[in-house]
Amino acid sequence: MNRKINGLIFGSVILGSLAISSGPAMARDDWRWSERDHRWERRAELRSDHRALEAARRQLDYDLRHGASRRRIAQDRERIREIEAEIRADRRDLARR
């Protein structure tokens, strides 16, 4: 019984020291992957914004062809301006990094 407890304690000490010593290496590697993932996420968001911009432009063209109200056309144009502002902001963020 005493041998089992000693073996358990000794194994715990070795396992704990290995986990503590490998912690900084794992944290550094995780940080690099995290930064890379964020960069890809920002690019994906930029692509999504471009798709949304094209959809908003198509909606504006549709509304213009079908005689939508001035209010609706103004809303479409405002949406396009908002998306373009988002794209400019995303590009600035990508350029900074």
Residue at token pair 């358990």: 8
62 contacts: CB under 8 Å, gap ≥ 6: none
pLDDT at 84: 95
Q: Which residue has the higher pLDDT, 84 or 91?
A: 84
Q: What is the pTM of this model?
A: 0.59
Of residues 22 and 16, more confidence is placed in: 16
Look up residue 90 and give its two tokens: 């995303």
User: What integer pLDDT is reported at residue 7 of this predicted model?
Assistant: 82
pLDDT in tens, 24-78: 555 554 455 555 566 677 778 888 999 999 999 999 999 999 999 999 999 999 9
Q: Which of 82, 46, 80 is nearest to 64 (CA)?
A: 80
Helix (H, G, I), strand (E, B) or coil at 68: coil
Angle at CA of residue 13, ends 25 and 6, nearest 5°: 160
Q: Give me the residue label for tokens 């070795």.
A: 14
Q: Of the candidates 94, 40, 97, 60, which has an alpha carbon nearest to the alpha carbon of residue 52?
A: 60
